[in-house]
Structure 1
Amino acid sequence: MTFMRNFRRIGGLLTLAMLAAQPAAAQMRMQPPPGAAPPSAALNDEFDGDSLSPDWKIFHAENGWPNKIKAMDVGKTTQGALHLEPYDSAWVRDLNAPFLYKILQGDFDVRARVRAKGANGDIPAGTWSLGGLMARVPNGLTEATWQPNRENWHFITTGVGFEAGKTMTETKGTYNSYSSLKLRPYQSGWVELRLVRVGMAIFALVRPDDKSPWVVRDRFYRMEGSPFMQVGLIAYTTSPDTKPGPENAAVTNRQVSKELPVDMTLEVDWVRFAPAKPAPVRDWYGQVNGTNPLTNPNITDAEILAAIGD
């Protein structure tokens, strides 16, 4: 008994020591970032004006990175839509690209009607040219304080992936800058994308229009304690003239290769924010021991759709 009491006491002290040793950035993830708000219709954007609403945050401007947006306008190139063209860039591992976002607190259900196209065609001309919705965990880092292995986010995009001329969706989850992706064939043109966060589960969905049923494209499970995420629109592309070589995010993130030819445009008709349906179990243990069905890897797509709603 004495041994067990001492064992528990030592274990408790070790736990306290581990919590005290957590990096400041990890603790900061629990603090409300400026502008954080619960998801609601007040955050919606129909892009029916002639300029970008000031309540959008732009990743490079907020964090001191170079501007990798080649062109952007609202209602000028395409009436009633956001027009966004990226320079050669990528959201993968530690690399970053154009990102317009709002900071959400708590669970969310975010949808957007988008299309990825080329300057002279219905689809981007190159490869790895996609755009859509992303949810990123703020890490408190700027260009000046950047560190590797600190990226955590999930997305669903539409466009052209590894094979030129073939349109698809790309879903990607990144954990401490380790990225895992899925490419699945899908139609070109206007599509609706959706990201839903419910506790420790995030679901990525797609459909061609509002008269069609949602299709689950991916599901992610993450032990993420922070209630805050940056949620919004991304676009990225690879130039055919990009030279192969070892990846160095510390260099690539700090440069804009404006001379490289690119052909990728993301158009966004609208983006809409709403709270997600609440999970049946909210405590962390219930979400990891299988009590919450949404964090059960064996749950079917039909069960997911029934739980999160249309």
Structure 2
Amino acid sequence: MRVLMAFVAGLLAASVAWPAAAQDDLATLSDEFDGGSLSGWTWFHEAYGWPNKVKKVDVGVTTPGTLHIEPYHSGWIYDLNAPFLFREVHGDFDVRARVRVRGAEKAIAGGTWSLGGLMARVPNKLDSKTWVPRSENWHFLTTGVGYVAGQQMTEAKSTFNSYSSLKLRPFPSGWVELRMVRVGVSIIVMARPEGETAWQVRDRFYRMESNPVMQVGLNAYTISDNVPIGADNPDVVNRTVNRDAPVDMILEVDWIRFSRPKVQVPPDWYTQVSANPLADPGLPEADLLAMLGN
């Protein structure tokens, strides 16, 4: 037991170095996508030497004032990777984005597993040359089509050491707001349809994560129905771009906005594991939303 407690203490000790809200204004990371460029953003594939699975991207060309992303056949699950555009965030954050996932001619994306939205990934320092399996750790909340074609959903997914678990829940199509809040060991993901003011909690994640830095931004992925479903070898799939498989998925992002959370919890490891109110599984959703604010 003492060995275990020592391990936990060491794992979380780095959280003491997390900057206080007053020391780092995250608003400078926000982007309204009205400047015509992606200055300050990093593509996952460029940072780590993977092939580019972005079929098309532009800012304000296809739709004025909007980031437009179309992915090739790809997916964020287990060890697989897909398009991901991020900024590095130190410490706690509250990130929101107004997004729409659609097809080229229809309001709902074609095929299945065609989704996009917010993602927060823990950097692991591995690139395409040094890659090893079971090293991916991330959380996300996306909107689009899941397992059943033609049905709009949100997908809340958490991956720990490349083991992914997810929740699919029905949600309106069209423009929606997605939100992800990190407070220490707790990450809460929420969504609300266009025109509504109340947030809907889509999932609560609890993660004993020692790294104060996360890569936070936007992902997009789609599965072509023409590609047989089977056991995917990530060492092969991640190094291959399937440009021939027909896909019909577009992610549009009106804006993404970063801030520090309303809730602040001392970052020392013991307070996080014993008194972080967001980590209480019995906390009613109404109380949770009241603490996070609108």
Give the structure-1-normalised TM-score. 0.87
Change (3 A) 1:28 1:151: farther
Q: Please give the alpha-carbon distance, in whole angstroms, between the structure 1 residues aligned to 2:106 and 2:195.
A: 24
Alpha-carbon distance, 1:288 to partner: 1.9
Q: Which residue of 2 aligns with 1:4?
A: none
How much has 1:245 moved relative to structure 2? 2.3
Task: Identify the residue that residue 101 of structure 1 maps to in structure 2.
Answer: 86
Verify: 1:47 aligned to 2:30, yes or no: no
The answer (yes or no) to whether the contact 1:38–1:106 under 8 Å persists in 2 is: no
Letter paired with 2:28: A
Give the CA deviation at 1:39.
5.3
8 Å contact from structure 1 (residues 111, 194) kept in 2: yes
Give 1:283 shift.
Answer: 2.3
The structure that has the greater radius of gyration is 1
1:104 to partner: Cα distance: 0.1
Q: For the residues of structure 1 that align with 2:14 and 2:226, how far apart are their CA atoms?
A: 40
SS for the counterpart of 2:189 is strand
- Structure-2 change in CA distance of 1:300 and 1:48 (3 Å): same
Task: Tell me the distance in 1 between the aligned counterparts of 2:251 and 2:15.
Answer: 30
2:261 corresponds in structure 1 to: 276
| Contact 1:30 1:225 (C-alpha < 8 Å) held by counterparts | no
CA-to-aligned-CA distance 1:173-202 (integer Å, 9 cap, x gap): 000001000000000000000000001000
Which of 142, 151, 155 is 2:127 aligned to? 142
The aligned amino acid for 2:235 is A
| 1:159 equivalent among 144, 166, 172 | 144
Indicate conservation of the 8 Å contact 2:144/2:153, yes or no.
Answer: yes
Which residue number corresponds to residue 256 of structure 1? 241
- Provide the rounded CA distance (Å) in 1 between the counterparts of 2:226 and 2:215: 32
Match of 1:304?
288
Q: Please tell me the residue identity of whatever aligns with 1:267.
A: E
- Rate the CA distance shift 1:261–1:178 in 2: closer, same or farther, 3 A: same
Counterpart of 2:256 in 1: which secondary structure?
Answer: strand
More contact order relative to length (CA 8 Å, sep ≥ 6): 2
Q: For 2:120 and 2:69, how far apart are their aligned partners in 1?
A: 18
Tell me what 2:224 maps to: 239
1:133 aligns with 2:114: no
The one-letter code of the counterpart of 2:30 is N
Instruction: Report deviation, 1:120.
Output: 0.8
2:206 is matched with 221
**CA displacement, residues 116-147 of structure 1 (integer Å, 9 cap, x when unaligned):** 00011001011000000000000001001111
Q: Which residue of 2 aligns with 1:3?
A: none
- Deviation of 1:247 (Å): 1.6
The RMSD of aligned alpha carbons is 2.6
- 1:304 match: secondary structure: helix
* 1:122 partnered with 2:137: no
- Alignment check: 8 A CA contact 2:90 2:214 kept: yes
Aligned mates of 1:125, 1:198 — CA distance in 2: 36
Q: Which amino acid aligns with 2:282?
A: N
Q: Distance in 2 between matches of 1:306 and 1:113?
A: 21
Q: Give me the whole-angstrom Cα distance separating, in 2, the residues matched to 1:182 and 1:152.
A: 17
Contact 1:135 1:154 in 2 (8 A): yes
Identical amino acids, percent of aligned pairs: 56
Contact 1:39 1:106 in 2 (8 A): no
CA contact (8 A) 1:124 1:264 kept: yes
The DSSP-based 3-state class of the residue aligned with 1:233 is strand
Mapped partners of 2:47, 2:221: distance in 1: 18
Report if the CA contact (8 A) 1:46-1:271 is conserved: yes
Distance verdict in 2 for CA 1:129–1:219, change over 3 Å = same
Distance 2:155 2:115 in 1: 8
Given that residues 15 and 268 in structure 2 are in contact (C-alpha distance below 8 angstroms), is that contact kept between their aligned partners in structure 1? no
Task: Kindly state the Cα deviation for residue 42 of structure 1 after the two structures are TM-superposed.
Answer: 1.0
**Distance change (3 Å), C-alpha of 1:308 and 1:252:** same
The question of whether the paired residues in 2 share the 8 Å contact of 1:129 and 1:237 is answered with: yes
Contact 1:170 1:184 in 2 (8 A): yes
Structure 1 runs (4+) deviating above 6 angstroms are 26-32
Please give the alpha-carbon distance, in whole angstroms, between the structure 2 residues aligned to 1:107 and 1:210: 28
